[in-house]
Amino acid sequence: MSAALQTRKKMVVELRKVKYSASLSEETAAFTADLYFDGVKVGTTSNHGTGGSNNTRIESALHRSAFQEFIANEPPEPCEWGDKKPLTMTEDFFISNLVEAFLKAKDNAKNEKRFEKRAVTARLTGRVVLVVHFKGMFVEATCLPTEIETMTASINKQYGKGTVGTVRVIK
């Protein structure tokens, strides 16, 4: 290997603008995406979701050969089924791994949002929300049911009568 290749940093290959369709995914993930090398768009990739290979189109011959070299230097993928022999990395396999990683990250983000929303609701259950109208804005303040009168009186005293509007209990 030449010194230039040894010191060259590893190329960053990523998918952007990924559009995935769960309803069209039968045997493989149905998707379309833009393919980027080191932050530069070099082509597109897609799969119809019916079990075929990914359709990767790289416009430049230079980028195509760089991608083939990149794949050739990727280590084999461990295999957990069958004879458990490591799987040789191919362009198609590499793109499929990127799509799988994207879908996992998207699913994790969705689950984190759900968890966060449930955690907030759980912390507030049994509390009361006071809707406060202050300087043209509506602000919600929470308190325990036993604190309604004290909180309302305190807010109305400080900011004027009628500042606290509706009161509702969080279930």
Pairing mode of beta strands 30-37, 40-47: antiparallel
Tell me which of 57-61, 94-98, 128-132 is least confident.
128-132
Q: How far apart are CA 29 and CA 55, in angstroms?
A: 12
Residue 123 has pLDDT above 60, yes or no: no
Asked whether the beta carbons of 129 and 140 are under 8 A apart, the reply is: yes
Residue 158 and residue 85: Cα distance in Å, rounded?
73
Query: Angle CA(95)–CA(97)–CA(98) in degrees, nearest 5?
Result: 65
pLDDT tens digit string along 23-64? 888 888 889 999 999 889 999 999 988 888 888 899 889 899
Angle, vertex CA 134, rays to CA 129 and CA 138, nearest 5? 50
The overall longest dimension of the chain from CA atoms, in Å, is 81
